[in-house]
């Protein structure tokens, strides 16, 4: 009886929580935007610089500087209803203790709030330095999850995914451009925009440690054969004058590397950023590569690269 009572109480609690969340309004604000609620006198100190260095640091792998997050500061007196449903909020509050805590879905669906409590500005700076990366990663993670919640059905790509024995979600209606034995090319290119988003899927029959020179040589050989420009002797290649940004990657039980850099058309004028995940599939003795590239001249590309990051990081082997 006691077990049944506890189980019934838990079910009732979660039912109430779900009902409360369903009644909340949708969150507001732009993707990768954080509202900092902090009084102007504190913001005018080196706290502002610390926050910008941490949350607005440059995104790796882009041809021009774009911040990780767009920062908007308001004093507590301006924290009115129009801001209370924002998707990302960070409070810096003077208190009798030094503490960090998070609130989820407080005023809107899918909302994340972080609160830094501090006794004095020095304690706040220490707290930011210690816990800032944790907060940064929390907001980045929830932005990726928000993107994935908008994924669409991709039945037209079943053959491609089945051939490579993989599956990952997509946020836009990509279609196959080329599908050979070892190489698949998917593309999203709306007719009313000068925008191209492309995905390449290929593999190397090896699980040895990642080597950036092998990666570049493999890509360039594939591009020269399959990713050709409009004119003779034009094809895609990795931009060698820009260093690759390579970092270790672990997604649940999968491990590998994330690679960011720039691509260009050899003997042509097109170019842009790319992101690639190289993940080891030890069961099939291979390393699978997902490569996403952007062509969107004169426009910011941070959010586009982030979309690839969200989908690629959701890869599953079949």
In the prediction, which pLDDT does 133 show? 96
In the prediction, which pLDDT does 19 show? 53
Share of the chain above pLDDT 70, in %: 93
Same domain, 169 and 45: no
What's the whole-model pTM score? Answer: 0.88
Tell me: pLDDT of 179 over 50: yes
Q: Is residue 15 part of a domain?
A: no
Question: Any idea what the CATH number is for the domain that residue 311 is in?
Answer: 3.40.1000
Question: Any idea what the CATH number is for the domain that residue 99 is in?
Answer: 3.40.50
* 45-92 residue pLDDT tens: 999 999 999 999 999 989 889 999 999 999 999 999 999 999 999 999
SS3 per residue for 94-155: ECCCCEEEEEECCCCECCEEEEEEECCHHHHHHHHHHHHHHHHHHHHHHHHHHHHCCCECCH
Q: Is residue 302 part of a domain?
A: yes
Tell me: pLDDT of 13 over 50: no
* 255-291 residue pLDDT tens: 899 999 999 999 988 999 999 999 999 888 889 999 9
Domain boundary among 148, 177, 211: 148
Same domain, 177 and 309: yes
Most confidently predicted of 20-29, 124-133, 213-222:
124-133
Number of compact structural domains in the chain: 2
| Confidence class for position 189, pLDDT limits 50, 70, 90 | very high
Tell me what the pLDDT averaged over the chain comes to. Answer: 90
Same domain, 56 and 103: yes
Same domain, 37 and 138: yes
Lowest mean pLDDT among 47-56, 128-137, 209-218: 209-218
Q: What range defines the domain where residue 126 resides?
A: 24-148
Nearest CA-CA partner of 201 in 219, 217, 183: 183
CA 19 – CA 165 distance, rounded (Å): 39
Q: Is residue 14 part of a domain?
A: no
Same domain, 195 and 85: no
* 289-317 residue pLDDT tens: 999 999 999 999 999 999 999 999 999 98
CA 197 – CA 296 distance, rounded (Å): 8
| Confidence class for position 177, pLDDT limits 50, 70, 90 | very high
Tell me: pLDDT of 154 over 80: yes
Same domain, 223 and 85: no
| Confidence class for position 14, pLDDT limits 50, 70, 90 | very low
In the prediction, which pLDDT does 212 show? 81
Q: Give the residue-averaged pLDDT of 182-188.
A: 94
Same domain, 262 and 172: yes
User: Around Cβ 202, how many Cβ atoms within 10 Å?
Assistant: 19
Domain boundary among 103, 126, 148: 148
In the prediction, which pLDDT does 20 show? 55
Domain boundary among 109, 124, 148: 148
Same domain, 161 and 310: yes
In the prediction, which pLDDT does 269 show? 87
């Amino acid at each position: 009886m006691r077990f049944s009572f506890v189980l019934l109480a838990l079910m009732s609690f979660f039912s109430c929580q779900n009902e409360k969340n369903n009644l909340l309004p949708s969150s507001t604000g732009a993707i990768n935007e954080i509202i900092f609620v902090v009084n102007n006198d504190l913001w005018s100190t080196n706290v502002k610089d610390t926050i910008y260095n941490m949350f607005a640091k440059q995104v790796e792998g882009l041809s021009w500087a774009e911040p990780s997050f767009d920062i908007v500061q308001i004093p507590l007196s301006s924290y009115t209803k129009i801001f209370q449903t924002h998707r990302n909020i960070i409070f810096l509050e003077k208190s009798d203790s030094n503490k960090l805590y998070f609130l989820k879905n407080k005023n809107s669906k899918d909302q994340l709030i972080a609160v830094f409590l501090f006794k004095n500005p020095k304690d706040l700076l220490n707290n930011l330095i210690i816990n800032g990366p944790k907060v940064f990663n929390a907001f980045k993670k929830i932005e990726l999850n928000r993107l994935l919640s908008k994924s669409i059905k991709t039945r037209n790509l079943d053959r491609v995914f089945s051939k490579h024995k993989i599956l990952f979600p997509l946020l836009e209606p990509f279609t196959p451009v080329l599908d050979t034995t070892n190489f698949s090319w998917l593309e999203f290119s709306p007719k009313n925009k000068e925008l191209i988003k492309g995905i390449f899927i290929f593999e190397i029959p090896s699980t040895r440690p990642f080597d950036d020179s092998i990666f570049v040589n493999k890509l360039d050989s594939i591009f020269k054969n399959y990713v050709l420009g409009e004119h003779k002797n034009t094809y895609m290649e990795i931009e060698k004058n820009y260093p690759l940004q390579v970092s270790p990657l672990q997604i649940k039980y999968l491990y590998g590397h994330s690679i960011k850099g720039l691509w260009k058309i050899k003997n042509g004028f097109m170019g842009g950023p790319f992101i690639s995940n190289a993940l080891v599939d030890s069961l099939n003795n291979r390393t699978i590569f997902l490569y996403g590239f952007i062509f969107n001249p004169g426009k910011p590309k941070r959010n586009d690269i982030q979309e690839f990051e969200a989908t690629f990081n959701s890869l599953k082997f079949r």
